[in-house]
Amino acid sequence: MTARLSDIAAQAGVSEATVSRVLNGKAGVAAATRESVLAALDVLGYERPVRLRQRSAGLVGLITPELDNPIFPALAQVIGQALTRQGYTPVLATQTPGGSTEDELTDMLVERGVAGIIFVSGLHADTTADMTRYDQLRGKGVPYVLLNGFSPKVQAPFVSPDDRAAMRLAVTHLAALGHTRIGLAVGPKRFVPVLRKIEGFQQGMAERFGLSSEESEELIQHSLYTLEGGQAAAGALLSRGCTAVVCASDMMALGAIRAARQQGLDVPRDVSVVGFDDSPLIAFTDPPLTTIRQPVQAMGQAAVRALLEEVGGTPAPHSEFVFMPELVVRGSTASAPSPARTPS
């Protein structure tokens, strides 16, 4: 469509001369007036002249673990949308088993001249990893933000859910339902979120039942963050007499439900299961999963804000922004079974 100056001027509430100046990229027009004219173009369905289209402010890398766990695509979507709104182009780099390592993906992004990088559940969460890689990245002038994991050795903004509070929420909920034998299915012990979940779980068990750390230790089972991992962990916990299992991810919780059913137990009549994440579609499982909701929207937006402050030359505080999770009660938890529980 050919833009008619009179239509655009009327829509924007300015003179035709002002519209002409904006369309021809002339100086002397206030920023707010310029935006009004461009908005009028959009409303009337005219294409903006090429030189006036918003240019990308640059690329921003986003490195995530594999996308099999629905929480990572959910985080990637929030972060990607927030970056796009600020004029940046997100570049998603995904780690897969046997594929590129975090270091290789980082090098690839740096070579492409990214303005910054957001790491989700990366090596910064692994207490056994060498943290000098992040110092080297900062030495190259590439700002970054780290999600889900913390290391005092790394000077950067961190964004995390409150894993300790999450586990106390789960234990409090299950204790209120009459459960006393509560198990925890978590990932490998070397990861910071796992260590924090263990601390929160043990605090909850101490507060509710007076258990020492040693006594609650036998109620903790380490496994993989997968459906099969949750199934194996829950199977072990059920054999120790647990009537409820708190899982470190929703995928593990689905595995826990499978383990209970394999033993002829009903969820939630015989066994209650709590997940962690509140991944997309998890409300529609059978039964709908009670879970701890990660504040994905708030965390993703905070990570982008912190990164863009760094990119803009105003460093965000090199500390951890911790976000409170929320217990979402659905159909996978119920009152504890009577002591005479038998497989159905």
Query: What's the CA gap between 131 and 303, in Å, rounded?
Result: 20
Same domain, 290 and 171: yes
Looking at the structure of the chain, the number of domains it has is: 3
Q: Judge whether 113 lies within some domain.
A: yes
Q: In the listed set 13, 36, 52, which residue is the last one of a domain according to the structure?
A: 52
Same domain, 40 and 65: no
Q: What is the pLDDT of residue 185?
A: 98
Q: Judge whether 333 lies within some domain.
A: no
Same domain, 179 and 82: no
Same domain, 127 and 175: no
Q: Has residue 45 got a pLDDT over 90?
A: no
Q: Judge whether 340 lies within some domain.
A: no
Same domain, 184 and 93: no
Q: Which tens digit of pLDDT belongs to each residue from 200-212?
A: 999 999 999 999 9
CATH number, domain containing residue 259? 3.40.50.2300
Q: Judge whether 79 lies within some domain.
A: yes
Backbone angles phi, psi at 264, to 5 degrees: 75, 20
Among 82-86, 131-135, 311-315, which stretch is predicted with the lowest mean pLDDT?
Answer: 311-315
Q: What is the pLDDT of residue 123?
A: 95
Same domain, 155 and 302: yes
Same domain, 219 and 251: yes
Same domain, 47 and 192: no
Tally Cβ neighbours within 10 Å of residue 139.
Answer: 9
Same domain, 80 and 64: yes
Same domain, 112 and 179: no
Q: Residue 276 forms beta bridges with which residues? A: 292
CATH number, domain containing residue 14? 1.10.260.40
Tally Cβ neighbours within 10 Å of residue 246.
Answer: 36
Q: Judge whether 26 lies within some domain.
A: yes
Q: What is the pLDDT of residue 338?
A: 81
Q: Show the tokens assigned to 181.
A: 């034998």
Q: Exposed, middle or buried, 181 (CB in 10 Å: 0-12/13-18/19+)?
A: middle
SS (H, E, C) the chain: CCCCHHHHHHHHCCCHHHHHHHHCCCCCCCHHHHHHHHHHHHHHCCCCCHHHCCCCCEEEEEEECCCCCCHHHHHHHHHHHHHHHCCEEEEEEECCCCCCCHHHHHHHHHHCCCCEEEEECCHHHECCCCCHHHHHHHHCCCCEEEECCCCCCCCCCEEEECHHHHHHHHHHHHHHCCCCCEEEEECCCCEHHHHHHHHHHHHHHHHHHCCCHHHHHCCEEECCCCHHHHHHHHHHHHHCCCCEEEECCHHHHHHHHHHHHHCCCCCCCCCEEEEEECCCCHHHCCCCCEEEECCHHHHHHHHHHHHHHHHCCCCCCCCEEEECCEEECCCCCCCCCCCCCCCC
Q: Which tens digit of pLDDT belongs to each residue from 55-70?
A: 556 899 999 998 888 9
Q: What is the pLDDT of residue 276?
A: 97
Tally Cβ neighbours within 10 Å of residue 300.
Answer: 25
Q: Which tens digit of pLDDT belongs to each residue from 9-33?
A: 999 999 999 998 888 878 778 878 8
Same domain, 131 and 243: no
217 falls in which pLDDT band (50, 70, 90)?
Answer: very high
Q: pLDDT exceeding 70 applies to what percent of the chain?
A: 95
Q: Judge whether 174 lies within some domain.
A: yes
41 falls in which pLDDT band (50, 70, 90)?
Answer: confident
Q: Judge whether 101 lies within some domain.
A: yes
Q: Judge whether 331 lies within some domain.
A: no
Same domain, 134 and 181: no
The domain in which residue 308 lies consists of 58-161+295-324
